[in-house]
Structure 1
Amino acid sequence: MTKATNPDPLHGLTLETLLQRLVAKYGWPGLAEQIDIKCFSNEPSIASSLKFLRKTPWARQKVEALYVQSDWPETSD
């Protein structure tokens, strides 16, 4: 039987996981360069960024779009 795949690339990923992976890939300075948001450039932390992103839909959309556009290694689930 073949395994069904979900067309949503963010399926099963939390915002915290997305952010942690982006920070690991780009670092805070690189992330701030990709997306001009103060929480990434002014004393950045996962906690403060999550708080801002959860309250700000346009910023969250930019983070999710960057994650989808980024090149990630294949995983076998």
Structure 2
Amino acid sequence: MSIPEHNALHGKTLEQILTVLVAHYQWQGLAERIDVRCFKSDPSIKSSLTFLRKTPWARAKVEQLYVNLQRGR
């Protein structure tokens, strides 16, 4: 019987994920890693959440960055 792989995203909301990333990388570091305007021009959690919820490719990049950060800890 195989042990299921731990899913770092399980139980996390997009807001929680984004908050952790901003705390770790700051907005500038986040913008350097994921090239989207909502991280560069007057960034906020609220505006970023609105964009990410409507843009699956950007959300996937944010989620992957979060997973990579969690693995590195």
Query: TM-score under structure 2 normalisation?
Result: 0.87
CA RMSD in angstroms, aligned pairs only = 1.5
Q: Which has the larger radius of gyration?
A: 1
After TM superposition, the runs of 4+ consecutive aligned structure 1 residues lying more than 2 A away are 4-7
Task: Tell me how many residue pairs correspond in the alignment.
Answer: 69
Partner Cα separation in structure 1 for residue 42 and residue 57 of structure 2:
21
Higher helix share: 2
Question: Which structure ranks higher in relative contact order (CA pairs < 8 Å, sequence separation ≥ 6)?
Answer: 2
Query: TM-score under structure 1 normalisation?
Result: 0.83
Which AA in structure 1 matches 2:18?
L
Unaligned runs of 5+ in 1: 73-77
1:58 alignment partner in structure 2: 57
